[in-house]
Structure 1
């Protein structure tokens, strides 16, 4: 029996990229979905819901000169930022139809990008071991922050920002004083950091690594007893990378996506898995909730975790799916009384 690329019967987005997807981002205002890809393109679709039936309309796309690695929306939902291997970030007034402009430049690929509405600044994290803040009206950065190593992951929940770099560094910033590190910790996980996600309440963050494990870490020293790590994305004694972590926009639950082709939904406070979706036939490289959590997008494609020699382009079709999660999949479970479950 052939493996199934869509075992969850999710809705397939029309006209997907021609190569692996590197980021997915929903507009904060409407159901516009943006995907960046290794085919040098940034694409946007409008996702429409009619009852339980979804429809996708490809809207527009722009090109970079090299593969695109990251994307972010401005908080007003009109503008998209994208960055990648051409060492630039572009600002794209998506809905007005005007051309993108270059708003950030680094000395190496831009791996992460985020818009910070409270500061009216764009932040970019690069493999050149710097992070830069940009006023998009100015050609030079408002501030350049040296990092101890290459930036691999970044997550902002104002006033907190967490940055994951090579050598397992995790650097916390209080964005009210963005020019100084607030705290630096070594990842509780033994292997390379792949993704980070700041808690919605800014009390801590999640870290996912290439070893199929997630750490739940609190910022405040008085809450260190609440820290823990857990295994996930493991299959028949094989260990897979955690490629993406995303919090639900309403509930304090989150999704993890892995190289094993599985998406899991978790409740960090009760330390439970709420749901494991059925396993897809390729890795899941990234995932994203829409602004109210009613839609969940994920990309199924080759993620290069098994090297170029295992890349089979004829079989490695890139697909983007949108899933409609049930409440029971994403709502926290009622807390059990102290003393544990009966």
Structure 2
């Protein structure tokens, strides 16, 4: 890794060739980081010990859109080539678990159900047991394409086109199962990002129009009265308000604060219970595409590169612009009021 702008931040020395699509830290090793990219690769880094940065690289037939760990040894990917892949990170063996009919947009692993869950533009969510000789163990069909997905405790939140959300019990993902809740987004414009709270009580969503909504699973009027939305990732220049998409959200595993990443090239830390921004880090040169906290909450990975909000004319010049930064964290991620 090479030293970057601040003492607390380093840049990986061998980043992907094209825009970062997803980041995921190991649930057991705080220094092992997966980076998925539009350059058709999934890369594993040891962000502390490996001087060359990269420990392993797995090539795909098309862009990789998402990735996840199950434990410290096994990881998964999905993307434009529609295959669900499992990787043994020690032996570097690859296992094809199955396939969707169209692009896989989301890959999450549920610790509570010990299953892999994938979402796709084919309007299905599928559950997999990687240990089984017949890995596909569940399939749900949706009215729209699946754009976002995350797990909080036993709750699976599925975000679809049309600003729709369905919430399921991850232990009940059999065909025909009805959602626990159906919701419409609190935000007026298309959902761009989704993350569940570390305490399992709710989730946050971000839109293409620079807003974040904080939601709670408990359907009671008391709990629902606590939800709110706010503006962010906006800049005023020469009297004009420039609005950027909220590309990614991630909750801190210890303090339950969260990070937001925007097309404006900034990353902010928020205390949703106090409704305050705790910190905004120095601006990056390009759009921030994803962020991820490591398992003990001491590091934040930041994936930077071309985003479509920068205009289609810049897409061809995006190769070679991707960067991955890893920032050491301090008190700025702690809640203001811990009561």
TM-score by length of 2: 0.91
Q: What is the CA distance between 1:158 and its match in structure 2? A: 2.3
Q: What is the CA distance between 1:204 and its match in structure 2? A: 1.5
Q: What is the CA distance between 1:56 and its match in structure 2? A: 5.8
Residue number in structure 1 paired with 2:22: 23
Give the Cα–Cα distance (whole angstroms) in 1 for the partners of residues 318 and 138 of structure 2. Answer: 45
Residue number in structure 1 paired with 2:317: 313
In the alignment, is residue 296 of structure 1 matched against residue 294 of structure 2? no
Deviation readout 1:30-87 (Å, 9 max, x if unpaired) = 11111000010000111117xxxx956311111110000000001x210110000000
Residue number in structure 2 paired with 1:158: 153
> Which of 76, 88, 93 pairs up with 1:93?
88
Q: What is the CA distance between 1:177 and its match in structure 2? A: 2.9
Q: Conserved in 2, the CA contact under 8 Å of 1:133 and 1:141? A: yes
Give the Cα–Cα distance (whole angstroms) in 2 for the partners of residues 55 and 322 of structure 1. Answer: 14
- Aligned-partner SS, 1:189: coil
> Which of 314, 327, 333 pairs up with 1:330?
333
Query: After superposition, where does 1:13-92 map in structure 2 within 5 Å?
Result: 13-30=12-29, 31-48=31-48, 57-74=53-70, 76-92=71-87
Change (3 A) 1:201 1:130: same
Residue number in structure 2 paired with 1:184: 182
Residue number in structure 1 paired with 2:124: 130
- Aligned-partner SS, 2:144: coil
Give the Cα–Cα distance (whole angstroms) in 2 for the partners of residues 194 and 205 of structure 1. Answer: 14
Q: Conserved in 1, the CA contact under 8 Å of 2:18 and 2:318? A: no
Q: What is the CA distance between 1:201 and its match in structure 2? A: 2.3
> Which of 117, 126, 135 pairs up with 2:111?
117
Q: Conserved in 2, the CA contact under 8 Å of 1:48 and 1:56? A: no
Query: After superposition, where does 1:220-231 map in structure 2 within 5 Å?
Result: 220-222=218-220, 223-231=223-231
Q: Conserved in 2, the CA contact under 8 Å of 1:204 and 1:219? A: yes
Q: Conserved in 2, the CA contact under 8 Å of 1:301 and 1:319? A: yes
Q: Conserved in 1, the CA contact under 8 Å of 2:198 and 2:254? A: no
Q: What is the CA distance between 1:334 and its match in structure 2? A: 2.8
Change (3 A) 1:312 1:278: farther
Q: What is the CA distance between 1:7 and its match in structure 2? A: 4.9
Q: Conserved in 1, the CA contact under 8 Å of 2:152 and 2:202? A: no
Alignment coverage as a number of residue pairs: 324
TM-score by length of 1: 0.90
Give the Cα–Cα distance (whole angstroms) in 2 for the partners of residues 262 and 271 of structure 1. Answer: 19
Q: Conserved in 1, the CA contact under 8 Å of 2:265 and 2:287? A: yes
> Which of 255, 265, 279 pairs up with 2:283?
279
Q: Conserved in 1, the CA contact under 8 Å of 2:305 and 2:318? A: no
Give the Cα–Cα distance (whole angstroms) in 2 for the partners of residues 314 and 82 of structure 1. Answer: 22
Query: After superposition, where does 1:260-275 map in structure 2 within 5 Å?
Result: 260-275=264-279
Residue number in structure 2 paired with 1:340: none
Change (3 A) 1:316 1:192: farther
Q: What is the CA distance between 1:13 and its match in structure 2? A: 0.4
Moved more, 273-282 or 200-209: 200-209
Change (3 A) 1:228 1:63: same
